[in-house]
């Protein structure tokens, strides 16, 4: 039986849907956070060509721009990441939340001052580079059992590499509301060069008046994300060390995720 011919209204609706799909493909692959998108260049929110589409109050689905819209944008990216994990053959139920977070941070495009900063965080989420890291299977999910334990991974680096980056993330338990400490479990990331130099992660100074200082290497006691970035790393075998500097009560160890990349 021949399909029923489309009405003019249906044809127009299909053209609009196709145009929107193409616009959103460009949006997702180039920029996902903060919650806006200005592509195509002449598109505006009023003509429906810009912004992030999401569930919204009253009308159900709509588009908007603003920092709040980073939430649905990044949520959409994570949905793609979950789908990607399945396509790569991983059991999605065994992927730690910290793994998705580590991929997002590691794949982000740095903005502003080098490394994390108080204006841009770790930068723009980038879908393409994040999914590429996943395709490269450039991650580990591990567990460290006892305070004081150190786990190491070896990372061979060929000569001519321009950048080595390692990101550590863990899903910490909430601390007691009476605690004056930021973390229940504190892990520390260190990269050890082939000659034995120890490279510490980015550390920001949140003291009043020092918020705009660039991140410097240091020991982090307040965050569940640590990242080491080495420009022009020496060739040879680098060592990635993760130390459990604190495993609070109740004990039981701490799972964590590591994402690594070499360019
Ligand atoms: Ca930055
Ligand atoms: Ca730490």
DSSP character string of 231-256: ESPPSEEEEEEEEEEEE-SS-S-EEE
**CA of residue 149 to ligand 2 center, whole Å:** 13
Domain boundaries 139-262, CATH class? mainly beta
The predicted pLDDT at position 143 comes to: 97
**CA of residue 213 to ligand 1 center, whole Å:** 11
CA of 181, nearest ligand number: 2
| pLDDT tens-digit series, residues 120-149 | 999 989 999 999 999 999 999 999 999 999
pTM above 0.85, yes or no: no
Local confidence band at 254 (pLDDT 50, 70, 90 cut-offs): very high
| Higher local confidence (pLDDT), 18 or 29 | 18
Lowest model confidence (mean pLDDT) among 52-56, 90-94, 140-144, 158-162: 52-56
Residues with CB in 5 Å of ion ligand 1: 110, 112, 117, 120
| pLDDT tens-digit series, residues 189-228 | 999 999 999 999 999 998 999 999 999 999 999 999 999 9
CA of 224, nearest ligand number: 2
CA of 201, nearest ligand number: 2
Q: What residues does each domain of the chain span?
A: 139-262
**CA of residue 167 to ligand 1 center, whole Å:** 15
Q: Cα dist. 111→119, 121, 122, 134, 224 in Å?
A: 9, 8, 8, 22, 21
């Amino acid at each position: 039986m021949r399909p029923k011919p489309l009405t003019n209204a249906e044809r127009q609706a299909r053209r609009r849907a196709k145009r929107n799909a193409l616009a959103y493909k460009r949006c997702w692959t180039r920029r996902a956070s903060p919650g806006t998108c200005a592509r195509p260049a002449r598109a505006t929110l009023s003509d429906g060509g810009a912004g992030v589409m999401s569930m919204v109050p009253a009308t159900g689905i709509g588009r908007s721009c603003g920092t709040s819209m980073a939430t649905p944008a990044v949520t959409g990216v994570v949905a793609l990441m979950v789908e990607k994990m399945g396509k790569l053959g991983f059991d999605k139920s065994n992927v730690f939340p910290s793994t998705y977070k580590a991929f997002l941070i590691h794949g982000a495009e740095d903005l502003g001052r080098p490394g994390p900063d108080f204006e841009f965080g770790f930068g723009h989420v980038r879908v393409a580079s994040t999914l590429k890291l996943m395709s490269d299977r450039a991650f580990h999910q591990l567990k460290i059992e006892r305070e004081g334990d150190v786990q190491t991974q070896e990372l061979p680096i060929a000569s001519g590499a321009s950048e080595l980056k390692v990101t550590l993330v863990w899903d910490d338990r909430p601390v007691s509301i009476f605690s004056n400490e930021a973390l229940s479990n504190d892990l520390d990331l260190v990269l050890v060069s082939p000659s034995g130099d120890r490279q510490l992660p980015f550390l920001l100074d949140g003291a009043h008046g020092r918020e705009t200082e660039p991140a410097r290497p240091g020991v982090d006691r307040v965050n569940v994300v640590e990242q080491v970035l080495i420009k022009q790393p020496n060739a040879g075998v680098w060592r990635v060390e993760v130390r459990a500097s604190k495993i609070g009560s109740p004990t039981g160890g701490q799972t964590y995720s590591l994402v690594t990349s070499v360019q």
